[in-house]
Amino acid sequence: MNIIQKIEKEQMKESFAPFNVGDQVKVHTRVVEGGKERIQIFAGIVLGKKGSGLSQSFTVRKISYGEGVERVFPIHSPKVAKIEVTQRGKVRRARLHYLRDRVGKRATTVKLASDQSGLVLSTGGRRKKRADAAAALVVPEEGTSQMDDDTAVVADVAPDAPAAKEE
């Protein structure tokens, strides 16, 4: 082992929270103001990681007052006190630069969550129906003629065809 590798090994942090791209993290940084030192938190989504060894760094993006703010943190810097993972994300990319073009909640959400009703909530809260899930249509009982505005009638159609809505 040469001298440079020994020096780098001494400088590297031994324990930090394992995190991946797409996770929401809180990065606790040490800030020196005058003669005092305090901890400042930068919370956002990890857009990407790069480097290896002592020069390993990651980018965190947050929306502050409607403006996107990105900050690059070296993992092994003494200025980074702690990295806290608040929510795990499920992404299929190594870099999430596409979040820069998004606005509102879509810019701050990357995790896919599914609920029990057969609907899948994707990024930004849009709903997609699963192919095997049947549409939740209410059929009035026989002999009743009164219908509400939000009920639908199932027409006599082939089983593969989509159900028609009457308004």
Which H, E and C letters describe the chain, residue by residue? CCHHHHHHHHHCCCCCCCCCCCCEEEEEEEEEECCEEEEEEEEEEEEEEECCHHHCEEEEEEEECCEEEEEEEECCCCCEEEEEEEECCCCCCCCCHHHHHCCHHHHCCCCCEECCCCEEECHHHCEEECCCCCCCCCCCCCCCCCCCCCCCCCCCCCCCCCCCCCC
Pick the CATH number of 3-104 from 3.40.50.10800, 3.40.50.2300, 2.30.30.790, 3.40.50.1100: 2.30.30.790
pTM of the model: 0.62
What are φ and ψ of residue 94, in 5° steps?
-90, -25
Contact, 26 vs 16, CB < 8 A? Answer: no
Residue 159 has a pLDDT of: 55
What are φ and ψ of residue 116, in 5° steps?
-80, -15
Whether residue 68 is predicted with pLDDT greater than 60 in this model: the reply is yes
Provide the residue type at 124 as one letter: G
Whether residue 79 is predicted with pLDDT greater than 80 in this model: the reply is yes
Contact, 83 vs 28, CB < 8 A? Answer: yes
For 95-145, the pLDDT digits (tens) are 999 988 888 888 877 764 333 344 444 444 444 444 444 444 445 556 555
For 22-59, the pLDDT digits (tens) are 999 999 999 999 999 999 999 999 999 999 888 899 99
